[in-house]
Structures are given as structure tokens and as C-alpha cells.
Chain A
Amino acid sequence: MAAQQPIPGTNPVYEDFSRCVHCGLCLNHCPTYRLWQLEADSPRGRIRQMMLVNQGELPVSEGFVDHIDKCLDCRSCETACPSAVNYGMLVEHARARIERDFKRPLFSRLARNALYRRLLPYPERIAIVAKLLRFYQRSGLQASARSTGILKLLGLRERDLLLPPVDRRFFFDQLGKTFPAQGARRARVAFFAGCVANVAFAALNKATIRVLTANGCEVAVPDGQFCCGALPAHAGVRDVARDMARRNIAAFAAANFDSLVTNAAGCGSTLKEYDHLFTADEPEFAAAAALAKKTRDVTEFLLALGLSAPPKSVPARVTYQDSCHLLHGQKIREAPRQLLRAIPGVEFVELPFADICCGSAGVYNVTETKASLDLLAEKMAFAQATNAQIIATANPGCLLQLRAGAEIHKTGQEVLHVIELLDRAYSNSSA
């Protein structure tokens, strides 16, 4: 291969790999190892492959790409790792390397290009696609597609269920607004609205703002903010991710706030690691690190702030599925659970293996549908066994996946973001 472009952002060094003493404690925490029991699809095996590739001892082969693609990047292995291997950084770097060095099959290249380079960076295109999708969902097309069984025939039934239901009113029009605190102002926060969330989770975003303002937060939704870059960063499309980071750094630089709050664990995890996208000698590094430092997941933020508005009773048996990028990416386990426990009437039950990914993992459910659905099936079996009426989680992607799971496996369970449940507890008070 000709002289290669260096991979932008953080590049791992020898110690980052050798810190893995191949003890194997990660194996059973890895969703793909649990599915297939293959070293090559385990964190330990992937680290070894990445190390050998990094040292030039293995080529960036089809097999290597396959094993790295199959990683959910859920980072469950990081929680299990006694040696504190920074797996997320390694795998995201490996994907950037694949993006640079490996020529994918044509269809895959086109699809990746369309998503990461032609869609995500353009909010107006997201809106157009969303409108088309909404037309499909609302016009009866989806209903007829589902009822005629054509989707099943095309092998698309489950994929169809995984599509986000598009909102009637997008959240885009809320950008630039500021929502006053109810009662005495306890904090001023900037709200991170996300990308797809603007068209599919407008209600969640609004609920988040209601909960924050109810607890004395003035909430600014700075204009000019952008997709956080998680999806391209996880896919190894680093240049796009870096570009998005730059735009967000600029957008939030103007706003004056105590914390940057997000309700998407995946975005939060990426925002908190914005500095990884740049090397220390790059001009953006300091600002990226500063923004990262201010970023809080909404559950983390609320727990630290303390609920000043007492929630009213929501009588329900509730379980909680950890969002990987909250638990493993941001090491936040207790905050969402404590918020749920703070709601009177909620009978909280732990979900067995809540720390294992539900299979959503960004676009994984689209790219690796079979694996994703296998994970989801196991997840829903455990969820059903809890007899919970509500499954709570902390990330839009997980919400979509679990809702599809409840539908596919007919568990009859409602799937809500922790904040949506909290919002329901507050709206009960006004009712």
C-alpha cells in the first residue's frame, strides 16, 4: 500500500495493548462471545488481533474486519477488565484503520457512505428521510406491508420493527430556545438534542426538558448543535466525527452553562471522550477536553443535583436494562436505578444480565441483524421473567431495540426512558 495517511485522533501505543494480560475475565461479559463462544469474537481475541495488526504481523484481512465489525462496541469488557484496558479506544481505532486500509464490498461502501457522509452530517436530510419514513409508517404502507407478509418474505420483518417511529413534530424547531427553571434556579444547563432524536424522540427530549426545569434547571438548547459523532466515530469514520465535534464545540462555546446534559447515553459517552478524537497537539484538543468535562448524562446530573420536585406515585413493577454506553462507557450504574427507586409506587426489580447489551448498539441491529436479534431474544426472555410491567433504560437506541423486542416477543411490556417515567410521575402530580 502507498504511504498512508495517519489515522487522526488518539492512536494506541504498545502499552494500550499489552496491558491486556489475556486473563479472559472479559469473555463472558462480551455479548458476541456469549453468542458464539469464539475467541476471535471476544474482547481478548479482538485485542490480540488488533495488536497483531497494529504491529504489522497480521494483515487487515476480511476475517479481521468481520470480527471487528461484529463487536457491538458496548464496552462491557471494560467494566469486567481488571487491568483497565481501554477497549473502546482500541476498537474505534481499529475501525478507523479498516476505514482507511480496507476496501469493503461495493454495497457496503455505498451504504456506509450514504449514512455517515451523506445523511448524518446534514440535519435537513435527516428531516427529509424522516418525513418519507413517516409517510411509510402513517400512510398505511407499513401496515399493509406488515399485514401482507411481504416483509417477512423479504426477511425484513424484524428490521421493519426496529425502525424508529417518526414524530409528528420534530424537535429541530426547539433549537435555540431557553426554558426557564420552575421556582428558584438551581443550575443552568445546556441540552444536547442529538440527531435522529430530533425526528424520533422529540417527546423524550421535551420530557427531559420538563423534568429538568421542574427541578430548578434553566435549560438552554443552543442552536448550531449537531450530531455528536458517535455513530461515525464507532464506525471508524473519524474525519466526519471530528468535523461534528468541531461544530459542537463551536455551538456550545457560545452558551453559558454549568453542565451539558444529554438523555442519550451513546451521545454522552462520545461527548465525554471528545478529546480522544484529537491528539494533544491539535488546536481543538483543549476545547474538546473542556466540553467533555462538562458533559453529564441526565440521570447522573439529576442524581447529583437532587430531586427538588417530589415525584408522585407511578404504581408499577419496573425493571432496568443498563444502556451500555452509560454503564460501561460512562461507568454509571446507580444513578438511573436510584431515580427509579425515588418514584413512589415503583417496585424495582433487577433484570438478570442487565449489564449485557440488548443488541441495539447504534446501527448494529441493521448491520448485524441476526446477532442483534439473538441478543434481543435472550434479553426479552429475562425481561419477561421479571414480571415487570415497564422496562426502563437510558438511551434512545436501546428504547427502539427493546420496544421492538417487546413487540416481536409479545411480552406486553412498556419500554420507557428513565426520564420519561420520571416525567410521568411529575405529570401525575399535575393531573
Chain B
Amino acid sequence: MDIALIRELKTLLGPENVLSQKEDLLLYEFDGSVEKGRPEVVVFPHGTEDVSRIVKLAAKHQVPVVGRGAGTGLSGGALARGGGVMIVFARMNRILELDLLNRRAVVQPGVVNLDITRAVEHAGLYFAPDPSSQKSCTIGGNVAENSGGPHTLAYGLTTNHVAALELVLPDGEIVRVGSHHGDAPGYDLCGLFVGSEGTLALVTEITVKLSLKAGSVMTLLAIFDVVGDASRTVVEMTAYGITPVACEMLDGWTLRAVEDFIHAGFPRDSAAVLLIEVEGLREASESQAAAIREICHANDAREVRTARDERERELLWKGRRNAFGALGRLAPSNYVLDGVIPRSKLPEALEQIHAIGKKFGFQIGNIFHAGDGNLHPIVLYDPRDTEQFKRAIAAAREIIRMCISLGGSLTGEHGVGMEKNELMLLVFSDADFDLMRRIHDAFNPDSSLNPGKIFPLSKGCGEIHVRKSGPAAASPS
């Protein structure tokens, strides 16, 4: 890395906002995924102007830039694959404006997802996207990855809740897209930038839409002796026109691990549980809950419980939220996958995952958003065993391939990042890549922003343009 650049960054931001020592940089080479990529300098802007100046400096020195929020991403989206400057938005964490009348909040990208809700819940409002990391992840990261969560089923992903963005382009230009209130004429640029994984621009301000909290919530736990019965229940609920706001499933192996840890009341001898939530007017949620119970029983559910109060509801959700960790306790480390299938293919998909696990020698746990077919198989492995890690990756790829072959997609909410960019070839044609590449180049022509993400490198269409200047250039070790 160019010493001059670091010096200029320190002058610009103050030394307390620049990290360049190896022992500090080491802590920014990972996120929540299994990927790695070390930046050469980490900076903490405090405002949009800072970001613009940082980007201009980086451009002058021809080093790449990558944005990062809390680093909770699961696909390596916020890792410095090409080295260079990492812009950490954690100190841009102010809520700039609350417009409760029009249900909008204007926030900086480093604001934590749940903090938006905390700031507006007194008015009966909340921010709907609820990734399971919502207590730590930042809204900037949510925008980049188009994050979802259990309640995406009813309320959509981040993109459905963003009205406007302020962006810094790779040349340092500051632009605003979208509009605070209604929808302005023109292309839906917000729709393009949300979910572009930081490959088109850096987001420096977000206007989010706030939602009104539902009147009544009912949470049910259905317990099954046969996995197939649970997946059929999910399919049938749809057929009966029931629209739960969340519908989560845990398989038997997983729920046993969870139960040992959380004591959420999942019967250890069952084969699967469904956690189903309905919301709305009391009249609507009660009749939907009754219909759900009926369908569960028609599909041989052993038992259907209804949470009696907020505490019981919390406990059921705690079992779901901590499921990954509970499984993680069984092995030195774990790899959480993210794939989507049409929900009618659930029974088939689960069988195939089981078979793939067997083939590669893993017991694979299944925790997923059953309602929208978003699978999160979890593979347990030991990072010290490189051969085992390779097998885990191979198993993961086969599961993703299976999702695609069933008519599904690569990723439902974790993003492509550097985890799945090679797998993009399974979905997209040369023509698709050509167009995406033209869009990419329209904003980020030198790949100076977040290089090496989304596009498969093997196609030669996502090459990392890292033109390091001077002899001081160091390669990440």
C-alpha cells in the first residue's frame, strides 16, 4: 500500500479514523461468511463528504475501495478481495430525520437495523426487514445485500422498504436517487442500487419506509413425526389461501440440538417443527390460526401449540433464532448455506439435501424460511481439516445446484458476494452477464468499487483491476 495514501487519509480523517497496522487489519479480513480478504487500510468516515474525498483519494492512487457496515454479511460482500481501502460506515450511525407523519426515516448507513425500530416504536411503527442479525447489522449493509428475514414472506426484502438513497460514485460524485415521498417519474434506480452489493456505488444516506405494527400476532408451533408431513403442510397452507407472515421450519436433528441448548419446548423425538406466525386484525389472525391448526392436523401433526403470551412467543422465536448457534456447538465451526426453491418442491429438496450430506459424509441440519422456500442448510466442519473444508464447500455447491435444478435460485438473502460468484454461471447466460457488466461499467467502469464480487472471475468478466502504485504495494498474507 502506498504510504502516501495512508498519510493523506490520516490528514483527511484524523489518525483516529485510519487503521493501517497489520494487527488491526487482520480483524477486517473476515465477515460472517467463510471467506477472507484483507484490506490494506481501514477508514472510518463521519459523513458523506468524507466518503467522497476518500473515494477520490483512492481513485488518485488507483486502489480499490470496499464498503463495510458491521461485517455480519454471509457471502463475503464486505471483504476487500482486491485489498485496498475499506470504508467502515460504523461511525456514520446517526438517524438524521424521523418523519413519522409520512412514515419515513432518513438514516446514515451505519445505523443498526433494529435501532430504527427502537427509535420509532413509540409511535407504533417499525422497520420491517428483520435479518436474524438485526441487532447488529447496519442498514447500509442491508441495502447493499437486499437483506431479508423470517418476515420477508409477508413484508418483502429491504428493497421494498427503501424510498431514496444518497450515493457516492467511484469518482467521488455525490448523487441522490429515488424520492422521499411518492415515486418520481424515471427509472427505479433505488431498485437497481439496493442489492447491488456495493459494486455500483457507496450508499451514504438511506430514506427508509416505516410500517405500522399489526394489531394482533399469533404464533403457532406445529410438531410433526414425519418431515414430509411438515413440508406438505407448508404447501397446503398456500393452497388454502393462508398467508402467514412467517413460516419457519427446523428438522429433527436441528431441533434436538436447539432444545438441548435453549429449552424452547421442542419435543426431542419429533421429526420437524413449523413455527408459523399470523398477523393482522384479531378477527383475521384468529381465523387464520384456526385454519392453520386444521391443516396441520390434517397432515398428521402430533401437536399444534399456540403461544399464550409475548414470553412464550419470544421463547419459540428464540429457539429459531439461536438454531444456527445451537448446531454450531456440535462442531468446531459451521457453514450456513442459502438457497431458494419453489416451496412446492420442499419435500423433494429435503430428501436431496439428506442424500448430498450422506454422499459427502456430513450430517446437514435444516433450518429455513419454509414459507418462501428459502433454505438454510448448515454444514458442520472442522476448519483445521482442509480436506473436510473442501468437502463442505463441494457439498454446499451441490445443494445450490440442486436448488437451481428445482427452479429455484442461488441466494435468497445472503447475496452472491465472493461466495457464489462462480455459481452465477448456473443461472445466467453470456447475454445476461453482458448486460449486467454494462450496467456495472456504467457506474463502476474500473471495477474500483468492491472488485471480485457478483461476477464470476472464471469468465474473465469480473477481473480485479488492482493497479497498485509504487513499490510499497503489499499483498495480503
Q: Which residues of B contact A28 (CB under 8 A)?
A: 70, 112, 114, 135-136
Selected from B24, B70, B137, B326, the residue in CB contact (under 8 A) with A40 is: B24
* B32 x A22 contact (CB < 8 A): yes
Closest A residue to B334 by beta carbon equals A21
Q: B136 to A52, Cβ gap below 8 A?
A: no
Chain A, Cβ-Cβ closest to B384: A14
Contact A84 B31, CB 8 Å, known A15-B332, A37-B91, A40-B24: no
Tell me the chain B residues, 69-122 only, with Cβ under 8 Å from chain A: 70-72, 74, 88, 90-91, 93, 110, 112, 114, 118
Among the listed B90, B132, B261, which residue makes an inter-chain contact with A37, where contact means beta carbons less than 8 Å apart? Answer: B90
Query: Separation in Å of the A12 CB from the closest CB of chain B?
Result: 13
Contact of B136 among A19, A29, A49, A83 (CB under 8 A): A29
Bound Cα distance A98, B333 (Å):
27
Stretch with Cβ within 8 A of A (4 or more), from B181-189, B192-200, B317-325 = B317-325
Known contacts: A19-B329, A37-B44, A48-B26. The answer to whether A24 contacts B70 by CB under 8 A is yes
| Other-chain contact of A25, B90, B91, B135, B333 (Cβ < 8 Å) | B135
Asked whether any CB of chain A lies closer than 8 Å to the CB of B383, the reply is yes
The complex places the Cα of A287 from the Cα of B71 at a distance, in Å, of 43
Whether B332 contacts A14 by the Cβ 8 Å rule is yes
Beta-carbon contact of A19 and B23 below 8 Å: no
Q: Which 10 residue pairs spanning A and B have beta carbons closest together?
A: A82-B325, A37-B90, A24-B72, A39-B27, A83-B325, A23-B32, A83-B328, A28-B136, A18-B332, A45-B27
A64 at the interface (CB under 8 A from B): yes
Could you jot down 28 A-B contacts, CB within 8 Å? A14-B332, A15-B332, A18-B332, A18-B383, A19-B332, A21-B333, A22-B30, A22-B31, A24-B31, A24-B70, A24-B72, A25-B136, A27-B136, A28-B136, A37-B44, A39-B24, A39-B28, A40-B24, A40-B27, A44-B27, A52-B26, A63-B21, A82-B325, A82-B328, A83-B324, A83-B329, A84-B326, A84-B329
Given contact pairs A19-B332, A80-B136, enumerate 15 new A-B contacts (beta carbons under 8 Å).
A14-B332, A15-B332, A23-B133, A25-B72, A28-B135, A28-B136, A29-B135, A37-B88, A39-B24, A44-B27, A49-B23, A58-B23, A83-B324, A84-B326, A352-B118
Contact for A84 among B32, B112, B321, B325, CB less than 8 A: B325
Q: Name the B residues within 8 Å of A23 (CB-CB).
A: 32, 72, 74, 133, 324
Interface residues of A in 2-39 (CB under 8 A from B): 14-15, 18-19, 21-29, 37, 39
Most buried by B among A28, A58, A61, A63: A28
Size range of the chain A interface in the assembly: 20 to 34
Residue of A nearest to B22 (CB): A58
Q: Knowing A37-B44, A82-B321 touch, does A21 contact B93 (C-beta < 8 A)?
A: no
Total inter-chain residue pairs, C-beta < 8 Å: 97
Say whether B23 contacts A80, CB under 8 Å.
no
| Neighbouring B residues of A245 by C-beta, 8 Å | none
**Is A81 an interface position by the 8 A CB rule?**
yes
Contact of A19 among B114, B133, B135, B328 (CB under 8 A): B328
Q: Can you list, as one digit per residue, whether each of B15-44 has a CB less than 8 Å from chain A (1) or not (0)?
A: 000000101101110111000000000001
Q: What is the bound-complex CA distance between A346 and B71, given in angstroms?
A: 42
* Distance in Å: Cβ of A400 to nearest Cβ of chain B: 28
Is A64's CB under 8 angstroms from B135's CB? no
Chain A residues near B26 (CB-CB < 8 A): 48, 52, 58
**Given A48-B27, A49-B27, are A19 and B70 neighbors across the interface (CB < 8 Å)?**
no
Task: List A residues 382-404 near B (Cβ within 8 Å).
Answer: none
Q: Bound complex: CA of A58 vs CA of B21, how far in Å? A: 13
A52-B135 Cα distance, complex, nearest whole Å:
27
A22-B35 Cα distance, complex, nearest whole Å: 11
- A33: nearest chain-B partner, CB-CB: B90
Collect the chain B residues with CB atoms within 8 Å of residue A39's CB. 24, 27-28, 71
Determine the interface band of chain B, counting residues with CB < 8 A from chain A.
35 or more
CA distance A81 to B261 in the complex (A): 12
Distance (whole angstroms) from the CB of A81 to the closest CB of chain B? 7
Residues A37 and B135 in contact in the complex (CB < 8 Å), given A19-B333, A21-B328, A24-B71 = no
Residues of B within 8 A of A40 (CB): 23-24, 27
Contact with B along A51-63 (1 / 0, CB 8 A): 0100000100101
| A231-267 residues at the B interface, CB under 8 angstroms | none
Q: Which residue, of A39, A45, A49, A83, has the highest number of chain B Cβ atoms within 10 A?
A: A39
Q: Which residues of B contact A22 (CB under 8 A)?
A: 30-32, 71
In the complex, the answer to whether B90 meets A84 with C-beta atoms within 8 Å is no
Q: Which of B170-215 contact A (CB under 8 A)?
A: none
Please report which residues of chain A, range 270-302, place their CB below 8 angstroms from some CB of chain B when the two chains form the complex. none
Kindly state the separation between the CA atoms of A44 and B137 in the bound complex, as whole angstroms: 14
A24, B136: Cβ atoms closer than 8 Å: yes
Interface residues of B in 341-385 (CB under 8 A from A): 382-384
State whether B93 touches A37 (Cβ < 8 A). yes
CB-contact partner of B32 in A18, A24, A29, under 8 A: A24
How long is the Cα–Cα vector from A29 to B332 in the complex, in angstroms? 23
B141–chain A nearest beta-carbon distance, Å: 10
User: Are A82 and B324 in contact, with the CB atoms below 8 A?
Assistant: yes
Question: Closest CB-CB distance, B118 to chain A, in whole Å?
Answer: 7
**B21, B23, B44, B114: which has the most chain A beta carbons within 10 Å?**
B23
Shortest CB-to-CB span from A62 to chain B, Å, is 10
When the two chains form their complex, are residues A26 and B328 in contact, meaning their CB atoms are under 8 A apart? no
Q: Which residues of B contact A44 (CB under 8 A)?
A: 27
Residues of A within 8 A of B321 (CB): 82
A77-108: contact bitstring with B at CB < 8 Å (1 yes, 0 no)? 00011111000000000000000000000000
User: What chain A residues lie within 8 Å of B71 (beta carbons)?
Assistant: 22, 24, 27, 39
- Closest approach, in angstroms, between the C-beta of B29 and any C-beta of chain A? 9
B325: nearest chain-A partner, CB-CB: A82
Q: Specify the chain A residue showing the minimal Cβ separation from B336.
A: A21
How far is B323's CA from A84's CA once the two chains are assembled, in angstroms? 11
Distance A263 CA – B362 CA, assembled complex (angstroms): 47
Interface residues of B in 410-430 (CB under 8 A from A): none
Q: Which residues of B contact A48 (CB under 8 A)?
A: 26-27, 30
- How long is the Cα–Cα vector from A251 to B39 in the complex, in angstroms? 55
B110 to chain A, nearest CB (A): 7
In the bound complex, what is the Cα–Cα distance between A44 and B90 (angstroms)? 15
Residue contact B133 to A24, C-beta cutoff 8 Å: yes
Inter-chain CA distance A204–B270, complex, in Å, is 49
Chain B: CB-nearest residue to A22: B30
B264 shortest CB reach to chain A, Å: 13
In the complex, the chain B residue whose C-beta lies closest to that of A41 is B27
| Chain B residues within 8 Å of A19, by CB | 328-329, 332-333
